């Protein structure tokens, strides 16, 4: 969350604000005009012309039951996020959808999701998720939303959108049908799964794309999977993460924002800050196995404390990401739980929970 828009101010300025429940949406604040020491050059309460926010909605997983019946909870999550985006003050310059619009990549699911998203008043751009991709290798998604990967510039920031959910042709071609391939990919902890990757073709495109960008230009990468290696068992993982990170290394400020994990994650690797955005559909718990495998994430502050399967909106909520410093700085507003602020600490060299870092809560038991 930025210095100029505190949570309270944000909520005061929001038309829904204090009167309503919390909604699953992320706001990303891009603030320019900082002096040395982080002080804004502008007077309090005003925004520089070049400052802007964009909103981020992710992982709706619109799922057909039969005919025109869809899973209601997932529909409602997305509808609420769109309604909230339309009421945001300040108005976001645009809205990103972070992937997994559908559950099984069906045309009816993508159509239904696109119809709900069409109520959004702002320009909307899309990121490809594996649930959108593996039925027809993204063909129908492309018809609806355009290229699988692309870049654009906005008010001095270079944005890159990647399709990070590609995998080996040998895996793609081994299934008897497209439906079977999609079903195999749709299982989170499926041992028949395969790692995601950005792939060579897209990496060489990215290299060319970044060659025209000044080293001091802030770069924001929007992907579905994390572009870091977190937990392979659940595909919270991008196989060629290091190669992509190497292409981003020359830039002074890089933020990677991703969906897919349906949980709070933040990390800082050198010049790159990472933030996940929460899902509008359901939460994934933090796997116990995080403790057993090599993880590049900072120690999670409250593992398994938040994901309550009996509360449909838990692990969804508001989050505010400030990308100004190029270091992790985010505030989370969580329904039915304590809000959290996470900031990069120069002392420890990692992002930390400002209140709860040293006061870990016991893990919630799951049955």
Binding-site ranges for Fe ion (CB under 5 A): 59, 100, 129-130, 260
Q: At CA 122, angle to CA 91 and CA 224, rounded to 5?
A: 100
CB of residue 90 vs Fe ion: minimum separation in angstroms? 28
Closer of 251 and 290 to Fe ion (Cβ): 290
Closer of 158 and 260 to Fe ion (Cβ): 260
Q: What sign does the dihedral 239-265-316-45 (CA atoms) show?
A: negative
Closer of 60 and 82 to Fe ion (Cβ): 60
Closer of 253 and 260 to Fe ion (Cβ): 260
Distance CA 37, CA 39 (A): 6
In this structure, what DSSP letter does residue 291 have? G
CB of residue 336 vs Fe ion: minimum separation in angstroms? 22
Tell me the residue ranges of DSSP E strands in the chain: 25-30, 52-57, 64-66, 69-70, 95-97, 124-126, 150-154, 157-161, 219-223, 254-258, 266-269, 272-276, 318-322, 329-333, 340-345, 350-353
Closer of 31 and 307 to Fe ion (Cβ): 307
Closer of 259 and 326 to Fe ion (Cβ): 259
Tell me the CA distances in angstroms from 4 to 69, 177, 227, 317, one per residue in order.
Answer: 44, 53, 30, 21
CB of residue 279 vs Fe ion: minimum separation in angstroms? 6
Closer of 47 and 262 to Fe ion (Cβ): 262
Q: Phi, psi at residue 77, to the nearest 5°?
A: -60, -45
- Per-residue tokens: 334: 């969580």
Q: Tally helices (H) and strands (E) across the chain.
A: 9, 16
CB of residue 59 vs Fe ion: minimum separation in angstroms? 4
Are 241 and 272 spatial neighbours (Cβ–Cβ below 8 Å)? no
Residue 299 CB neighbours (<10 A): 13
CB of residue 79 vs Fe ion: minimum separation in angstroms? 17
Residue 203 CB neighbours (<10 A): 17
CB of residue 62 vs Fe ion: minimum separation in angstroms? 11
Burial annotation 118-150 (CB, 10 A radius, 16+ → b, else e): eebebebbbbbbbbbbbbbebebbeeebeebbe
Q: Which long-range contacts (CB under 8 A, 24 or more apart) does 359-362 make?
A: 360/301, 360/302, 360/303, 361/302, 361/305, 362/305
Nearest in space to 195 (alpha carbons), one of 145, 241, 157: 241
CB of residue 190 vs Fe ion: minimum separation in angstroms? 13
CB of residue 132 vs Fe ion: minimum separation in angstroms? 9
CB of residue 281 vs Fe ion: minimum separation in angstroms? 7
Closer of 131 and 343 to Fe ion (Cβ): 131
CB of residue 367 vs Fe ion: minimum separation in angstroms? 24
Closer of 130 and 239 to Fe ion (Cβ): 130
Query: How long a stretch of residues is the chain?
Result: 367
- Per-residue tokens: 305: 């404390």
Closer of 63 and 151 to Fe ion (Cβ): 63
């Amino acid at each position: 969350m930025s210095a100029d828009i505190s949570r309270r101010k944000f909520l005061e300025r929001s038309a829904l604000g204090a009167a309503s429940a919390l909604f699953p949406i992320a706001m990303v604040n891009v603030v320019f005009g900082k002096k040395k020491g982080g002080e804004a050059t502008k007077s309090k309460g005003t925004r520089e012309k070049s400052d802007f926010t964009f909103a981020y909605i992710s992982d709706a997983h619109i799922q057909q039951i039969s005919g025109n019946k869809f899973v209601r909870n997932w529909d409602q999550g997305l509808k609420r996020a769109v309604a909230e985006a339309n009421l945001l003050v300040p108005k976001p310059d645009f809205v990103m959808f972070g992937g997994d619009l559908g559950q099984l990549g069906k045309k009816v699911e993508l159509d239904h999701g696109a119809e709900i998203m069409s109520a959004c008043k702002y320009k909307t751009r899309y990121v490809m998720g594996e649930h959108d991709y593996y039925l027809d290798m993204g063909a129908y998604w492309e018809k609806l939303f355009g290229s699988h990967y692309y870049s654009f510039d906005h008010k001095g920031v270079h944005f890159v959108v990647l399709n990070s959910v590609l995998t080996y042709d040998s895996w793609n071609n081994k299934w008897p049908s497209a439906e079977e391939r999609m079903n195999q990919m749709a299982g989170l902890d499926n041992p028949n799964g395969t790692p995601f990757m950005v792939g060579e073709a897209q990496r060489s495109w990215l290299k060319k794309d970044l060659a025209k960008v000044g080293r001091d230009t802030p770069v924001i990468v929007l992907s579905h999977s994390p572009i870091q290696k977190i937990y392979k068992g659940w595909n919270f993982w991008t196989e060629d993460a290091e190669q992509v990170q190497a292409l981003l290394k020359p830039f002074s400020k890089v933020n990677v924002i991703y969906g897919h994990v349906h949980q709070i994650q933040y990390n800082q690797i050198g010049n790159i800050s990472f933030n996940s955005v929460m899902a509008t559909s359901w939460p994934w718990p933090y796997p116990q196995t995080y403790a057993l495998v090599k993880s590049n994430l900072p120690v999670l502050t409250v593992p398994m404390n938040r994901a309550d399967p009996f509360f449909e909106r838990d692990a969804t909520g508001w989050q505010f990401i400030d990308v100004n410093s190029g270091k992790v700085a985010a505030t989370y507003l969580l329904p039915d739980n304590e809000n959290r602020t996470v900031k990069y600490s120069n002392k420890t060299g990692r992002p930390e929970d400002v209140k709860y870092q040293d006061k870990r809560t016991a893990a919630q038991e799951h049955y």
